[in-house]
Amino acid sequence: MTNFIDPIDFEALKQDDTLPSPSGVRLNIMRMCRQEDVSLPELVTQIQADPVLAGRIVKIGNGASINKGRPIVAVSKDVLLMIGLHAVRQLALAISLTAERRDDNDGACPGFDYATFWARTVAMACASQALAEYYGDAPPSEMFASGLLANIGRLGLASARPAGYSALLSEDIDPEQFRAAEKTRFGYHHLELAAAMMQDWDIPRLFCEAVLHHEAPEQSGLHDESRQLRLAQMLHVAGAVADYCVAAEQDRLAALQALLDAGLPLAGEVDHVIAICDRTARDWIEWGSMVKIATHAMPPTRDVMQQLLEQPPE
């Protein structure tokens, strides 16, 4: 199996025990989901002890793309089988990293904006799920987890290499060149580290590669008809939606224009952009409340779109 970063470098990072990693009951749930002979009643009991994870599973189970029957009100064996244990495992991982690592080492890497990182991370997860429900290509629960993990390499560098990463963040580097600067400084960039961490957590390689290429899918070299490229494009657009969500008011129009220009799958379709942004904003606030990450109310996207369209040409 091809490695995303040098195995020796990655093993050294793991030995330092500073990389974000799951723990507690969610780690136990992840381990149980990997067992071929897992006791589903016992797994249900474990999940019921975690209100955040249980609530997310119930919400996904009630999604129109999954549930065709009566509303689900609690986690059960049938719900787990309907969603799939692999998706449950990814959700447990993603939620563990979000809820438990949120304040760890806060401020340990000067220049790294922890609050904005987590706000954008949660927004990207919500956008990824909304896009998956709208366009297909991947289960919404797995895209939600992929959106949460897409930039975990940034947090990994801030956690494992705080001094070096802080120094890099303080330099005046064009955003388009930042990955190259990371690679020069550390031997790998944040997307390679994210993919390596996901691979280490047994996330399917399909999603690891989508994360690896999501910032510039058009430069990935992936086959035009490949599923990896479609997922990378979806994550790229989800990132643009997240940027729109966290943008300061004075930057909101520019962020919306960047989203319109982000390419497939939205491809600038105004009604689709409005629907995805409004759905993401609602989910973002709800999710932020669950894991105590700061979010804010968003104006109706149609109103912002109208302001953008009424701007005089430059």
For residue 17, name the pLDDT band (cuts at 50, 70, 90). Answer: confident
Cβ atoms 243, 258 nearer than 8 A? yes
Cβ atoms 210, 231 nearer than 8 A? yes
Which range scores top for mean pLDDT: 107-116, 167-176, 251-260, 287-296? 251-260
User: Is the pLDDT at 105 greater than 60, yes or no?
Assistant: no
Cβ atoms 162, 108 nearer than 8 A? yes
How far is the C-alpha of 167 from the C-alpha of 186, rounded, in Å? 12
Helix (H, G, I), strand (E, B) or coil at 222: coil
User: Is the pLDDT at 100 greater than 70, yes or no?
Assistant: no
pLDDT of residue 269: 94
Closest to 192 (Cα-Cα) out of 176, 178, 203, 208: 208
User: Is the pLDDT at 45 greater than 80, yes or no?
Assistant: yes
pLDDT of residue 299: 96
Q: Quick: pLDDT tens for 169-184.
A: 999 999 889 999 999 9
User: Is the pLDDT at 14 greater than 60, yes or no?
Assistant: yes
Cβ atoms 245, 120 nearer than 8 A? yes
How far is the C-alpha of 208 from the C-alpha of 216, rounded, in Å? 15
Percent of the chain with pLDDT over 70: 95
pLDDT of residue 123: 97
Mean pLDDT rounded to a whole number for the chain? 89
Q: Quick: pLDDT tens for 236-276.
A: 999 999 999 999 999 999 999 999 999 999 999 999 999 99
The neighbour count for residue 258, using CB atoms within 10 Å, is 15
How far is the C-alpha of 238 from the C-alpha of 130, rounded, in Å? 9
User: Is the pLDDT at 287 greater than 90, yes or no?
Assistant: no
